[in-house]
Each structure stands twice: as structure tokens, then as C-alpha cells.
């Protein structure tokens, strides 16, 4: 009498799981290298420095994730960040009573820029790469012709946002994480979030299914610019003055895209999540901190970042090719659930 053989299927690790495994390995390697250099990686000051490094890029990368999920790109974010820091600084002019006005003007103009870019992409059917590149050039020209250097001044009460910690955790990091939580709720719990995934996955199929394909794309670009504006406000709080080059000097356009891709979001759109992006941002922050302690050449830093990005994309590409179902084989419910988790 034959006994039934029970086949156990191994549960594959999701892309988000891989990101956080790599983050843990990066932290372990960083702790060892930092100890060799005679420093304590887990000291409160170093942890605070790493978390501070995640805040600015985190804001922009969260917005960039929304845009990429919608099947677009936004290369204008560094210029929006610079413009927001200048507008808020000039409006505040060192006066506590002008803080609210400065914040409203900076975020309002940022959202308007994103709205225009989104309409160009969705209504005029211009690819996001071109539309945001053009918007970035317009903003760069405006900043270069109207601001010859730092301008404005943030009052002391506003600067406390960038200087206050709760334990080793900066307040700016907590604000960034709160924004991330709201965006996660938007993507998972609202109809607009589900439509964003659908339009990014296949815009034509979404349109034929009765979805309004313009709204999710415009929403993604508007929120992306709004979050870039918040990054500008945070930079103003740290530096106390607005700067026309602070965004481009940080390379936030390419760095945010790199963090999103490293976090497992598909560059073609329709697949990814905010948690993976936060993991990607944290990996870059740890790497930069460790290379700073080791006094690595800045050009070598870019080489290391490039190798990590290419390796991550190669791993995701091989996983995608390896899990294609056999022809005529119907995927099980478990497979469908795992596919959704990725």
C-alpha cells in the first residue's frame, strides 16, 4: 500500500524581504568596518546621523515611488526642493509670525508645479522623463536668473525642526515616516491607490476597464512635488537659509530613482511599495555613513552605489524570469498571494 507523499513548497522571499535582508547585512558590515576605524557604529550620535541622512532622500523617494508606480518619472524634484527652500526662507524673513505663510507658499507652489507636470504627462501624453526634464530646466533657469546665492532666513522656532531629537531619532525622520505611513494607507486602502497600480501596470487595459487614467498620474506627480517641497522646508530648517543649488547638489533626482529601484519597485510601473523604498533609502544612508567614516574618495562612493544598483536590478530580473509559470499551468491561490506581496 503506497503512502501519499506530501510535497512541501518553499515560500519564496519577496522583493521587500530581500531589501531588508540586504539592509541588515549592510549594517553588520558597516559595524565591522566602523569598529576597524576605531568608531562605534551604534553610538547615539552615529545613529542620529544615519537617520538624518534618510530624511531628505526619504521624502523625495516616497514621492518618486508614486510617480514610478504610475509608469512615469520625475526629474524636476531637485529644483522643486531648491525653489521651496528659497520661497519659504524669503517669506519667513527670520520672523516667527511668517512661518505658516512661508510653509503654505512653498508647498502650494510645489504642488502647482507637480500638477502642471502631471497634466502634461497625462493629458498631452508626453512621457514623464521628457515632461519633468523640461520642467526641471525651466525651474533651473528661473533659479539661476533670479537668485545669485543663498536668500531668506528661517526663524529659530522653525530651525528647531531640523535640530531636535527624540532620543537618537530626529524629529525630521519622524515626520518623514508619518508621511510614508499616509502614502501606504493611500496605496493600500483607497480606490485612488488601487487605480494608481492599475494605470501603472497597463494604462490601456485600465482605460478599457473604465478607469480614469488621467487622475492617478496627475495625483502621483502632484504628491511627488509636494513631498519634494517638504524636503526643501527641511533643508531650510537645517541650513537656516534657502539655496538655489541645494537640490541639484544633492543629486536627488537620480538618487531617489536609485532608491526606488533598489527597493524593488519596477521601473516600468505598476509594481512596488513604500516599505521597499524606505529600505533602499536606509541602505544608501548606511553606506554613505560608513564610507564617510572610512574617508572613501567621493568618486569611489558613486562607483559603489552604481554596483549596488546594478546588482539589485539583476537579482530582481532573474527572480522575475525564474518565477514565470509553466505554459498552461494555472497559478494557485498561494502563488497569487505571493505575487501580490512582491
CA distance 235 to 243: 9
- Give one DSSP letter per residue of 121-177, joined into a string: HHTS---HHHHHHHHHHHHHHHHHHH-SS-B----HHHHHHHH-EETTEEHHHHHHH
Whether the CA torsion 338, 281, 70, 66 is positive or negative: it is positive
CB atoms within 10 A of CB 288: 19
Q: How far is CA 140 from CA 168, 201, 228, 254, 259, in A?
A: 36, 32, 15, 16, 23
Per-residue pLDDT of the chain (342 residues; tens, 9 = 90+): 444 545 555 666 777 888 898 899 999 998 999 898 888 888 888 898 889 888 899 999 999 999 999 999 999 999 999 999 999 999 999 899 999 999 999 999 999 999 999 999 999 999 999 999 999 999 999 999 998 888 989 999 999 988 888 888 899 999 999 999 999 999 999 999 999 999 998 888 898 888 888 999 999 999 999 999 999 999 999 999 999 999 888 889 888 998 998 888 888 888 889 999 999 999 999 998 898 888 888 778 888 878 877 887 777 777 665 555 444 444 454 454 444 445
Q: How far is CA 8 from CA 5, 321, 326, in A?
A: 10, 22, 19
Task: Provide the whole-model pTM.
Answer: 0.87
Residues 6+ apart with CB under 8 A from 341: 14, 16
> What cell numbers appear for 3 in the block?
503512502
> What cell numbers appear for 216 in the block?
492617478
Under 8 Å between Cβ of 286 and 27:
yes
> What cell numbers appear for 40 in the block?
562605534
> In the Cβ-directed half-sphere of 165, how many Cα atoms lie within 13 Å?
12
The C-alpha cell 505575487 sits at 339
CA distance 228 to 82: 9
Amino acid at each position: 500500500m503506497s503512502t501519499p507523499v506530501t510535497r512541501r513548497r518553499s515560500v519564496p522571499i519577496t522583493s521587500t524581504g530581500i531589501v531588508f535582508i540586504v539592509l541588515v547585512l549592510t549594517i553588520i558590515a558597516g559595524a565591522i568596518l566602523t569598529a576597524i576605524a576605531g568608531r562605534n557604529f551604534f553610538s547615539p550620535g552615529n545613529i542620529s546621523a544615519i537617520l538624518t541622512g534618510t530624511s531628505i532622500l526619504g521624502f523625495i523617494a516616497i514621492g518618486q515611488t508614486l510617480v514610478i508606480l504610475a509608469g512615469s518619472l520625475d526629474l524636476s524634484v531637485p529644483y522643486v526642493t531648491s525653489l521651496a527652500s528659497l520661497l519659504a526662507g524669503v517669506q519667513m524673513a527670520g520672523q516667527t509670525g511668517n512661518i505658516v505663510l512661508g510653509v503654505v507658499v512653498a508647498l502650494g507652489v510645489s504642488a502647482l508645479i507637480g500638477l502642471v507636470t502631471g497634466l502634461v504627462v497625462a493629458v498631452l501624453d508626453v512621457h514623464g522623463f521628457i515632461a519633468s526634464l523640461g520642467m526641471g530646466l525651466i525651474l533651473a533657469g528661473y533659479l539661476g536668473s533670479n537668485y545669485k546665492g543663498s536668500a531668506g532666513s528661517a526663524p529659530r522656532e522653525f530651525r528647531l525642526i531640523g535640530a531636535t531629537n527624540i532620543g537618537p531619532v530626529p524629529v525630521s525622520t519622524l515626520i518623514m515616516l508619518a508621511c510614508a505611513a499616509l502614502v501606504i494607507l493611500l496605496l493600500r486602502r483607497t480606490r485612488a491607490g488601487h487605480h494608481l497600480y492599475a494605470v501603472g501596470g497597463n494604462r490601456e487595459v485600465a482605460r478599457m476597464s473604465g478607469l480614469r487614467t488621467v487622475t492617478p498620474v496627475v495625483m502621483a506627480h502632484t504628491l511627488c512635488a509636494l513631498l519634494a517641497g517638504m524636503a526643501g522646508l527641511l533643508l531650510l530648517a537645517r541650513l537656516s537659509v534657502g539655496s538655489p543649488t541645494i537640490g541639484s547638489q544633492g543629486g536627488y533626482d537620480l538618487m531617489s530613482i536609485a532608491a526606488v529601484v533598489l527597493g524593488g519597485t519596477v521601473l516600468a510601473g505598476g509594481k512596488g511599495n513604500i516599505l521597499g523604498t524606505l529600505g533602499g533609502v536606509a541602505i544608501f544612508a548606511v553606506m554613505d555613513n560608513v564610507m564617510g567614516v572610512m574617508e572613501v574618495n567621493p568618486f569611489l562612493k558613486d562607483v559603489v552605489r552604481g554596483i549596488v544598483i546594478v546588482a539589485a536590478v539583476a537579482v530582481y530580473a532573474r527572480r522575475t524570469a525564474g518565477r514565470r509559470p509553466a505554459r498552461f499551468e494555472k497559478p494557485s491561490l498561494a502563488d497569487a498571494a505571493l505575487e501580490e506581496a512582491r
